[in-house]
Amino acid sequence: MPPSAFAEERDLSFQPVVNPAPRVLTREQVAFYNSHGYVAPFRAYAPAEAARNRAYFDDLLAKVQSARKDLDAYSINGYHVCCAGLHDIVTHPVILDHVQDLIGPDIVCWGTHFFCKVAHDPRKVAWHQDASYWPLTPARTVTVWLAIDDADRENAAMMFLPGTHTRGHLKWRQVSGPAVLNQEIENTAQFGEPVFDELKAGEFSLHADMLAHGSNPNTSDRRRCGLTLRYCPPTVRALDPRWARGAVLCRGQDAAGNWVHNPRPPGEDVNVIIQAIGAN
């Protein structure tokens, strides 16, 4: 079932973070996240480690496209349950420390997705709110956007519309023209100027699932690849049970038993998942 089938059942309100003693974020950064809907940049991987992440993605994409000739650079979606390298990124302690300051000590990662804009990719990611796509409630997912390549204005870095996470579920229409996703928020000019999420490879940002964001076509000669990691407290429920199957319990407990937790896979098996539930 599409998320729209559960529209009346979902709580898509933003709940401000209350954390008087964050572990790695400052109180000012937590306040910025509450008011703006995002916070950045942070570094998880040194340059040499970031280069290894890039090589890992390149190899993974080659394997996936060898298995399915029709799949493109956006197709690696949900593979953290079958690829050990992705599982290790999902459970990286530096990333989890930052996430914990926003959602608490019990952390589930329920989705991953590489958004890879090759050079001269004509497709945009239209302005959207992540939670609009997802049959999850309440809207408490924090997305980590980990730069695999350097991301800047020239090669279509992601953009945020600060403060839109507090405005509820924004009206959208079907996107027109070449695009990666199918929703496009209407009349975004009313929300002010966008902010570019410019990151060096190995750095990451965090944003709320109700924050409007998107990216332009990549008109440059350089690729722009990022890995989205979707984290939530285990009190979040999947209204479509298929969306609960791809979880990793990264820290703490899932006392309610809302998620199916996957152990670290033994290797890299791209044939386990070809079309995943989750992410976008």
pLDDT tier at 71, thresholds 50, 70, 90: confident
pLDDT of 8 > 70? The answer is no
Under the banding of pLDDT at 50, 70 and 90, the label for residue 182 is confident
User: What pLDDT is recorded for position 277?
Assistant: 47
Q: Region 220-242: what's the mean pLDDT?
A: 97
pLDDT at residue 6 tops 90: no
Nearest to 262 by CA among 81, 84, 113, 78: 81
- Give the residue-averaged pLDDT of 63-85: 90
Q: How far apart are CA 97 and CA 205, in angstroms?
A: 13
* Residue burial 121-135, b: 16+ Cβ < 10 Å; e: rest: bebbbbbbbbbbbbb
Grade residue 156 by pLDDT with cuts at 50, 70 and 90. very high
Q: What is the DSSP letter of 125?
A: E
Beta-carbon contacts of 271 under 8 Å, excluding residues fewer than 6 positions away, are 67
CA distances from 246 to 74, 79, 183, 192, 273 (A): 18, 9, 24, 36, 10
Structure tokens of 28? 């000012």
pTM: 0.94
| The CATH number of domain 26-251, selected from 2.60.120.620, 1.10.10.2120, 1.10.3080.10, 3.30.565.10 | 2.60.120.620
For residue 195, list its beta bridge partners: 160
Convert the pLDDT of each residue in 34-45 to its tens digit.
999 999 999 999
Give the angle 123-127-129 at the CA atoms, nearest 5°: 125
Tens of pLDDT, residues 14-58: 999 999 999 999 999 999 999 999 999 999 999 999 999 999 999
- Written as one string, the DSSP assignment of 27-71 is HHHHHHHHHHSEEEEEESS-HHHHHHHHHHHHHHHHHHHHH-TT-
| C-alpha span between 61 and 72 (Å, rounded) | 8
Residue 280 has pLDDT above 50, yes or no: no
94-135 confidence digits (pLDDT tens): 999 999 999 999 999 999 999 999 999 999 999 999 999 999
Express as a percent the part of the chain with pLDDT over 70.
94
- Reference 244, options 261, 229, 230, 228; nearest CA is 261
